[in-house]
Amino acid sequence: MTDFELPKSESIVPKKSEVVASLDNIKAFFYLYNAKPDTEIRFLKDGKIVELADIRSIEEQVAAKLRNHDILGQTVSIAFTLSSTKLKEFSTWAEFERERWKTVNEKVESLAISWNILIQLPQYQSPQTHSMKLRIGNSIPPKDLFQLLLTSDNASEVMEARSPGVCKVDFINAIIANELLFIVDEWYKGLRKAPELDPIQNFLRKHGKTASSAIQFFSPLLLLSIACMYTDYLYPLLGVTEEISIGNIQKSLVFLLAMFMVGSFFGSIFEKSIDQKIDKLEKYPSFLISKGDENAVEEFQRNNNKLTKQIFNRILGLAFSVPVSSAMKFLIGYLLNSKS
């Protein structure tokens, strides 16, 4: 055996059992110091109003609860999405407290508060990280939901995106997680409820598009009924006589089919115009924090009342088209008879 040779019983590559044992020891050593966190999510319902005092209240309640544990470090950050596509982020609570919200003219669209906590637990030799994130507002629009379903395999991610509010806790100690979630639940229940929309606006937001689809379906029939009222005047112009013949039947069918197609076209336009106005109906603002939020409450009432009036004016105009057409036909017949 030369200097570069190994005994047959030896090998450069360690045996598989030795590698497995070594990896197991590394894992055991790692989890002794760092545990794998679990996650729990709570979904919050819509219809609450968050004010500046409420934000301070939740931070104070969480801080008071954490003082009961061996906390080695803690950071609190807060971010606001504003109506002008701006993002206000505060990396510390002190920065947030210095902000003068009465000078902010944009409306708050969403709020996200993040807590990162380092806790010493008895069963671990190193401090363990816990985190909680509370988001209110900015749920994903229905038009973007389908795209998210295609791109994400995570069901919880889709549910988070759809929810108007979410509280997510990554934890090692389940007792601490339950305490934090309980605080958030009770805090959210105690928030002021947003005023409900008036019954008409509420109906339009929930069932307005179904009603507009029904109107689009009946629009061709409505135009046909109006056209049939004037056949005495229209048929002579089209060369249709009272004689029953294939030519007269063909002309009548072509005329009625044309009216049906025109009714379908205008019905589709009418439906889209109604749906666009329904989409612009707003819910009561979820935040009363900035100067822009105060202005948004007044604008919300004006905008919704204006849109509701426009929608019902169009629907009433369509509904009265038949009686108005009947009155016009009577007037035309009366004038023609008086001249003769």
Q: Are residues 189 and 53 in the same domain?
A: yes
Given 174, 193, 212, the domain boundary residue is 193
Give me the pLDDT at residue 17, please. Answer: 44
Note the pTM of the prediction, 2 decimals. 0.70
Residues 6+ apart with CB under 8 A from 59: 76, 93, 113
28-52 burial by CB neighbour count: b if 16+ within 10 A, else e?
Answer: eeeeeeebeeeeeebebeeebbbeb
Residue 9 located in a structural domain: no
Assigned domain for 172 exists? yes
198 vs 194: CA distance, rounded Å: 12
**Residue 165 contacts residue 136 (beta carbons within 8 Å):** yes
Q: For the chain, how far is it from start to end, CA to CA, in angstroms?
A: 134
Q: What pLDDT does residue 192 have?
A: 93
Judge if 314 and 169 occupy the same domain. no
- Asked which of 88-92, 129-133, 156-160, 200-204 is least confident by mean pLDDT, the reply is 156-160
Pair (52, 183) in one structural domain: yes
Q: What is each CA distance from 291 to 148, 211, 239, 254, 297, in whole angstroms?
A: 34, 37, 68, 61, 10
Asked if the structure places residue 2 within a domain, the reply is no
- Name the domain boundary from 178, 193, 208: 193
- Do 248 and 268 fall within a single domain? yes
pLDDT in the model for residue 244 = 72
Residues 115 and 69 in one domain: yes
Domain count, the chain: 2
The pLDDT score that the predictor gives to residue 107 is 92
Q: Is 30 within the bounds of a domain?
A: no
Is residue 222 very low, low, confident or very high in pLDDT (cuts 50, 70, 90)? confident
**pLDDT bucket at 142, cuts 50 / 70 / 90:** low
Q: Is pLDDT at 23 greater than 60 in this prediction?
A: no
For residues 101 and 119, membership in a common domain is answered with: yes
| pLDDT tens column, 266-283 | 888 888 988 889 888 888
Confidence class for position 209, pLDDT limits 50, 70, 90: confident
Mean pLDDT, rounded, of the chain = 80
CA 95, CA 74: separation in Å to the nearest integer? Answer: 15
Query: Does residue 203 share a domain with residue 189?
Result: no
Regarding whether 176 and 290 lie in a shared domain, the answer is no
Res 106: pLDDT: 92
pLDDT of residue 115: 95
Residues 51, 188 within the same domain: yes
Tell whether 163 and 83 lie within a shared domain.
yes
Residue 146 belongs to what domain range?
Answer: 36-193
Closest CA to 194 of 119, 301, 98: 301
Q: pLDDT at residue 43 above 60?
A: yes
Q: Please name the residue that has the structure tokens 């959210």.
A: 188
Give the pLDDT band (50/70/90) at residue 20: very low
Mutual angle of helices 321-339 and 199-229, in 10-degree steps: 30
Considering only residues 239 and 128, tell me which one the structure prediction assigns the higher pLDDT.
Answer: 128
Shared domain for 260 and 182, answered yes or no, is no
187 and 230, same domain (yes or no): no
User: Which pLDDT score, from 0 to 100, does residue 18 have?
Assistant: 45
Please enumerate, as own/partner, the contacts of 142-148 that have beta carbons within 8 Å and a separation of 24 or more.
none
Q: Is residue 12 part of a domain?
A: no
Please state, in angstroms and rounded to a whole number, the distance separating the CA atoms of residues 194 and 112: 20
**Residue 74 resides in a domain:** yes
Domain boundary among 163, 193, 223: 193
Q: Which of 90-104, 148-162, 250-264, 318-332 has the highest mean pLDDT?
A: 90-104
Query: Which comes out higher in pLDDT, residue 16 or 207?
Result: 207
Q: Is 15 within the bounds of a domain?
A: no
- Rounded to whole angstroms, the Cα distance separating 75 from 135 reads 17
pLDDT tens column, 178-206: 999 999 999 999 999 988 888 888 888 88
Residue 13: per-residue pLDDT: 46
Are the beta carbons of 280 and 307 closer than 8 angstroms?
yes
**Separation of alpha carbons 104 and 112, rounded Å:** 18
Bigger pLDDT: 181 vs 247: 181
Residue 152 within any structural domain of the chain:
yes
pLDDT at 319 over 70: yes
Alpha helices, H only, the chain: 16-33, 52-66, 93-98, 142-151, 155-162, 174-189, 199-229, 231-238, 246-280, 291-319, 321-339
- Residue 209 CA to residue 270 CA, distance in Å, equals 12
